[in-house]
């Protein structure tokens, strides 16, 4: 029997290629066979693939046999449509590869297979996004349609590339219909349409080339199927997407699409603070214990250990845990790096003052001594928590902050350093030491797996490899995260290769192990990483991207790869952040280009080396970027001869700088000129080639030579006496005239001409005082996306903002303190800060952040709306609202737009995560909060007439509740239901009953919040 079975199997295997060849040769004819023949054979051979459609609209590659019933109609909604001569799968169903797909590409092969779709696919694959596209996604022997349905269902994101003949393919229309169905029925499915060389209007209304396709479909398919396809095109054609009008746009659009796809997918991969903090609870508790928070006087704790071992992470966790106990707090990061910069000590002092005093602008400080006096006079009077992160020998505590003993009783300082000996020098301040040790094997494996597998433990077939790799990391969290991120979704052979490299790296050399991740990057991603490590930490991502794009790089894609591999972070203000070990590794790589001669390296970031390079007129074609410092030899301006050996210079940064003399086009490739402060002695350079300049800070007099200029920042320009004429080319996209950091008193006699700013995307006029604006109205800047007018003063402003509500691309608008702002805004707004009533709030469906400050008219919000009228605007706002943050400051009223039977009808959007109501003494009531199940932070301060907050029990996600400065504590019911509450802060309260503080303690699973009581007169009750 076994012999017979084996013989039969061998024959089947031999016949398989012949059968496949028969299908390839004759499959298309079989489709045209008479209906009765199909009824007899119960089989129609349909050539198909997942790649794209052939000329006749049938997908073509792996040829799979499929069945239909005698009538040829579909037997289920997920089957091919009636009249398509195909039906349920008759073949062997094999499992799809390793894991579910994340993106499903739907496209018409002849139009885009070897052009746009191929480019987009490459971008997605570079980001390790599992994309269903090619014929290798369907194995021989699999049924085409069931597997297409399966792939669409598995994919979180669907990208239909709707080209001119897309609608001619029944397979494309079937896929599109399935996408639309999934989007309606299942949460989490996202459709990102691309209109490739076709008009979106034709897609929506089935006109143009889509009309002729449907004329044929009306003949070939039943009306129900055709109507379903039309509805899908109408729905998806109306979604926001990308319109590719020429082949030149293919690369840029592909990069943008892949970035949006990755951002959607990475939302589930991002770790919260607690996710990253594997196994540090004991360390946090130990540090808190050493701080002796219940003991008076000032105290200091020093954390020491190897670089990358987690000192900063522990310090941040302690900061988050105890910061609410202090009047003022400040977290000063990267002190070692900051100290190396010009006036680094003053920079630290200004940041400390800004954080502690809660002010954005700190007046210029002329010396460290002056800064220390300010700190001792103003900051030290508060009970402060100060974290000093990554301190080395260059940092002198008393020189920067003064005597720790002079700070208010209860103040605490936490210092992190790699040098235990350095921390012991603080013993005069009774500094207690805590050594941060390497992670143990089990915790190391858990942290590694979070990044390598997105789970707490490895799959069985990767367990041994994972344990070996974890051993090479020597318990260092940074190494575990970076190596884990590098190996995410890689084949086992790649793991084995990286393990071999890790085992060869010296056990104590962290940089060698981190460099393995760097070596795996492609060329342009390496260049972007080195640029950030050397120059752009703290720089806004959007600005740096202009520079990289002009270097023919793809910054969005590269930045996403660096984020994936834990080599880079993006801060809350979209600025670059990088671990100091990663930064040091990047700079070491540049130094290795030439150990002895800095002027032979690609990047000279050390300002002393950069200054020496210029003074000695050194340089080479290798130098692409230089940072220099002020030197007395530069008085009268930097001279041409100092740049004569820098023909490839792209980026130049200096603290103080001026240029004079004939430069004879010495720096033709300069793209970014970044001067932190600027003085002008009246001498202007000649032949200073700015033809390729994209980004300019301070040096305004060369504007007319910069025909490609994209970004102009004059906020640091202290000697500005008149506003320049902007490039007539209209290239400018970002303009910063903010007066936050220096006096603009002279601006009262200046005029701002916006006539040549038609491509402007970002305009910052915060705190400016202008004589007038000329050249048109703000509403003519149709490309504007961000506009900050906070506290702007301008004589003819009323005439210039009449059409500000007509900016179609505007996403961020800040107008607090500005008069004559219209009350109607475009629906595209995502962030709005205002001092005026918003008349069409119910139409701002994209709004995510709303700040109403100094508003005498109150906040007018829609009523709940009549649920029976699903089309009412109010109903839509509450159901669709994306509002996450609402702040009311010095706002008199909350009113209901239109008429409402009672205030009970008023609800805030359930999407809110943060609600802050402060300094509203005339506010008498707050809407019920019972529907805010996503709210995590609630602050109600200085609202003396608000006696009750209803619906507290509905705040199931609330973590922080702050109430202070009250004459009479508001009535809070439902505190016992706040299962996730971590902080309950009450300041300066009247007599407080114990019942008000009753929290649920019936379950061991409930986390009991810390209750912070400031200046409580007495606690009543038993």
Per-residue tokens: 539? 């720089």
Query: Distance of CA 464 to CAs 445, 467, 470, 496, 906, Å?
Result: 11, 5, 10, 11, 59
| Number of neighbours of residue 301 by Cβ within 10 angstroms | 24
| 533 vs 136: CA distance, rounded Å | 40
> Three-state SS for 747?
helix
Nearest to 172 by CA among 161, 182, 183, 181: 161
With 0-12 / 13-18 / 19 or more C-beta atoms within 10 angstroms meaning exposed / middle / buried, residue 32 is exposed
Cβ atoms of 156 and 102 within 8 Å: the answer is: yes
Nearest to 893 by CA among 837, 844, 939: 837
Residue 175 annotated among the catalytic residues of the structure: yes
| 379 vs 387: CA distance, rounded Å | 14
Calculate the CA 279 to chain-centre distance: 27
| 954 vs 938: CA distance, rounded Å | 13
- Which residues, in sequence order, are CB contacts of 164 under 8 Å at separation 6+? 111, 196, 197, 198, 209
Nearest to 180 by CA among 251, 104, 263, 268: 104
Query: Distance of CA 261 to CAs 119, 377, 525, 529, 608, Å?
Result: 15, 51, 19, 22, 43
Q: Where are the alpha helices (DSSP H) in 555-654?
A: 555-564, 580-591, 607-615
What is the separation, in whole angstroms, between the first and last Cα of the chain? 88
| 922 vs 607: CA distance, rounded Å | 55
DSSP strand E in 279-352: where? Answer: 299-304, 328-332
Q: Where are the alpha helices (DSSP H) in 712-769?
A: none
Per-residue tokens: 667? 């720096």
| 611 vs 604: CA distance, rounded Å | 10
Burial per residue of 495-515, b for 16 or more beta-carbon CB atoms within 10 angstroms, e otherwise: beebbeebeebeeeebbebbb
Per-residue tokens: 903? 């205030």
- Which residues, in sequence order, are CB contacts of 743 under 8 Å at separation 6+? none
H or E element at residue 530: helix 523-531
DSSP letters for 53-91 = B-TTS-B-SSEEEE---TT---SSTTSPPTTSS--SB-S
Q: What share of the chain is helix, strand, coil (3-state, %, to 5)?
A: 40, 15, 45
Nearest to 379 by CA among 350, 421, 399, 415: 350
| 277 vs 246: CA distance, rounded Å | 48
Nearest to 352 by CA among 392, 310, 318, 389: 389
> Three-state SS for 255?
helix
Catalytic, out of 175, 228, 786, 853? 175
H or E element at residue 350: helix 344-357
Query: Distance of CA 646 to CAs 144, 589, 632, Å?
Result: 60, 21, 22
**CA triplet 734, 571, 1012: central angle to 5 degrees?**
130
Query: Distance of CA 313 to CAs 18, 477, 478, Å?
Result: 63, 10, 10
Catalytic residues: 175
């Amino acid at each position: 029997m076994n012999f017979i079975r084996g013989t039969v199997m061998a024959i089947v295997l031999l016949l398989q290629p012949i059968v496949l060849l028969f299908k390839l040769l004759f499959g298309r004819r079989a489709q045209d066979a008479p209906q009765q023949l199909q009824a007899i054979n119960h089989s129609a051979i349909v050539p198909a693939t997942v790649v794209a459609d052939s000329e006749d609209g049938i997908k073509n590659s792996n040829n799979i046999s499929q069945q239909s019933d005698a009538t040829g109609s579909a037997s289920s909604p997920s089957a091919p449509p009636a009249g398509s001569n195909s039906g349920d799968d008759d073949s062997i169903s094999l499992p799809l590869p390793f894991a579910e797909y994340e993106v499903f590409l739907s496209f018409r092969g002849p139009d885009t297979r070897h052009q746009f779709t191929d480019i987009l696919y490459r971008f997605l694959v570079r980001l390790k996004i599992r994309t269903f596209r090619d014929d290798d996604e369907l194995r021989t022997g699999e049924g085409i349609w069931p597997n297409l349905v399966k792939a669409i269902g598995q994919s979180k994101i669907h990208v239909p590339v709707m080209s001119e003949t897309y609608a001619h393919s029944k397979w494309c229309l079937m896929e599109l219909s399935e996408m639309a169905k999934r989007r309606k029925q299942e949460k989490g499915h996202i459709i990102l349409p691309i209109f490739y060389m076709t008009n979106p209007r034709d897609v929506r209304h089935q006109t143009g080339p889509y009309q002729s396709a449907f004329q044929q479909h009306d003949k070939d398919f039943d009306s129900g199927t055709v109507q379903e396809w039309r509805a899908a095109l109408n729905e998806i054609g109306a979604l926001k997407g990308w319109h590719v009008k020429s082949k030149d746009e293919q690369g840029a659009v592909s990069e943008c699409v892949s970035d949006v796809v990755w951002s959607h997918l990475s939302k589930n991969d991002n770790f919260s603070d607690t996710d990253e903090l594997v196994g540090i609870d004991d360390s946090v508790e130990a540090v808190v214990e050493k701080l002796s928070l219940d003991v008076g006087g000032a105290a200091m704790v020093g954390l020491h250990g190897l670089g990358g071992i987690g000192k900063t992470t522990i310090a941040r966790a302690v900061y988050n845990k105890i910061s609410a106990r202090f009047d003022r707090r400040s977290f000063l990061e990267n002190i070692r790096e900051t100290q190396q910069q010009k006036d680094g000590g003053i920079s630290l002092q200004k940041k400390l003052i800004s954080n502690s005093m809660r002010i954005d602008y700190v007046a210029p400080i002329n010396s460290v001594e002056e800064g220390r006096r300010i700190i001792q006079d103003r900051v030290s009077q508060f009970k402060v928590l100060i974290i000093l992160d990554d301190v080395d020998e260059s940092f002198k505590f008393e020189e920067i902050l003064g005597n720790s003993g002079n700070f208010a009783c209860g103040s605490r300082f936490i210092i992190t350093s790699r040098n235990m000996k350095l921390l012991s020098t603080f013993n005069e301040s009774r500094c207690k030491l805590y050594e941060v040790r390497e992670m143990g094997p089990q915790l190391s494996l858990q942290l590694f797996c979070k990044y390598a597998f997105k789970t707490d433990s490895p799959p069985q077939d990767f367990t041994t490899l994972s344990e070996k790799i974890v051993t090479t990391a020597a318990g260092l969290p940074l190494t575990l995260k970076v190596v884990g991120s590098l190996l995410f979704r890689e084949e086992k052979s790649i793991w084995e290769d990286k393990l071999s490299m890790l085992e060869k790296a010296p056990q104590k050399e962290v940089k060698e192990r981190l460099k393995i991740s760097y070596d795996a990057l492609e060329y342009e991603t390496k260049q972007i990483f080195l640029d950030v490590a050397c120059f752009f930490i703290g720089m806004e991502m959007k600005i740096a991207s202009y520079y990289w794009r002009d270097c023919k790089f793809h910054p969005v894609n590269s930045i996403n790869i660096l984020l994936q591999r834990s080599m880079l972070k993006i801060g809350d203000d979209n600025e670059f952040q990088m671990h100091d070990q990663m930064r040091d590794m990047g700079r070491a790589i540049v130094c290795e280009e030439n150990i002895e001669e800095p002027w032979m390296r690609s990047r000279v970031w050390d300002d002393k080396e950069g200054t020496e390079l210029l003074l000695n007129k050194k340089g080479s074609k290798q130098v692409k970027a230089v940072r220099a410092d002020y030197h007395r030899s530069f008085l009268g301006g930097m001279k041409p001869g100092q740049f004569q050996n820098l023909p490839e210079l792209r980026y130049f940064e200096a603290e103080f700088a001026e240029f004079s003399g004939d430069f004879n086009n010495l720096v033709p490739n300069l793209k970014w000129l970044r001067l932190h402060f600027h003085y002008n002695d009246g001498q202007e350079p000649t032949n200073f080639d700015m033809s390729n300049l994209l980004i300019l800070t301070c040096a305004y007099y060369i504007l007319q030579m910069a025909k490609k200029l994209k970004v102009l920042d004059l906020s640091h320009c202290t000697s500005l006496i008149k506003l320049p004429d902007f490039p007539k080319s209209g290239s400018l996209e970002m303009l910063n005239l903010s007066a936050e950091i220096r006096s603009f008193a002279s601006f009262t006699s200046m005029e701002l001409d916006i006539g040549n700013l038609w491509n402007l995307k970002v305009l910052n006029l915060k705190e400016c005082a202008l004589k007038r604006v000329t050249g048109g109205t703000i509403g003519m800047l149709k490309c504007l996306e961000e506009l900050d007018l906070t506290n702007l003063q301008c004589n003819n402003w009323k005439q210039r903002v009449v059409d500000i509500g007509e900016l179609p691309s505007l996403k961020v608008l800040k107008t607090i303190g500005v008069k004559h702002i219209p009350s109607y805004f475009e629906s595209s707004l995502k962030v709005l800060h205002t001092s005026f009533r918003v008349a069409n709030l119910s139409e701002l469906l994209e709004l995510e952040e709303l700040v109403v400050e100094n508003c005498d008219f109150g906040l007018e919000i829609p009523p709940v709306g009549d649920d029976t009228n699903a089309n009412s605007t109010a109903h839509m706002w509450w159901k669709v609202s994306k509002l996450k943050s609402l702040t009311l400051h010095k706002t008199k009223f909350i009113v209901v737009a239109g008429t409402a039977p009672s205030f009970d009808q008023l609800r805030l959007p359930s999407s809110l995560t943060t609600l802050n109501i402060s300094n509203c003494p005339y506010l008498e009531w707050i809407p019920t909060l019972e529907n805010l199940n996503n709210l995590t932070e609630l602050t109600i301060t200085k609202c003396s007439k608000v006696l009750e907050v209803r619906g507290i029990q509905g705040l199931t996600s609330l973590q922080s509740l702050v109430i202070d400065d009250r004459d009479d504590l508001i009535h809070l019911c439902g505190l016992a239901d706040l299962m996730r509450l971590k902080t309950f802060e009450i300041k300066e309260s009247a007599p407080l009953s114990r019942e008000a503080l009753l929290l649920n303690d019936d379950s061991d699973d409930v986390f009991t919040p810390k209750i912070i009581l400031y200046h409580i007169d007495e606690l009543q009750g038993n």
